[in-house]
Structure 1
Amino acid sequence: MMFGALAEAATLGALLPFLARIANPEAVGGQSFLARQLAGFRLTSSSDSLLDLTILFSVVAIIAGAVRIFLAWATN
């Protein structure tokens, strides 16, 4: 059950920067943590970083779903 909670927390953690980037792409530069992470990956254009955040969120959501399916299977 702890793995399921961690997977859900990771999904929420990936969702917030994704939604912030969609809502206001210019404002993300003011958020120091996300701006440093994007600069670390050399992402300067908003379309590149939005695509990467979309892929990151998708992968995390798929992994969280797989963890939930595994936990449902393991408990029955």
Structure 2
Amino acid sequence: MERDIGDLTIEIDRTLCIGSGSCVGLASETFEIDEQNLVRFQDETPDIDPERLKEACAVCPVDALRVYDGDEQIVP
């Protein structure tokens, strides 16, 4: 699953997700843990500081969140 947020594209690989919730702890307005204990995007994604969004993705212990700036992968 993928979503454009500001100038960044965020990709969630739910096959890697272990539901640690680290990303939710840093960006709960963007991510949530669903009934399968896996991360997903909130239905509505408000504006978020891009640096905080990148940090929320970078703390994933299994690299299930990837961030792209154009064609360049910047996280992890």
Task: Please indicate the TM-score interval, normalised by the length of the shorter structure.
Answer: under 0.3
In terms of fraction of residues, the more helix-rich structure is 1
TM-score by length of 1: 0.26
| Relative contact order higher in (CA < 8 Å, ≥ 6 apart) | 1
Higher strand share: 2
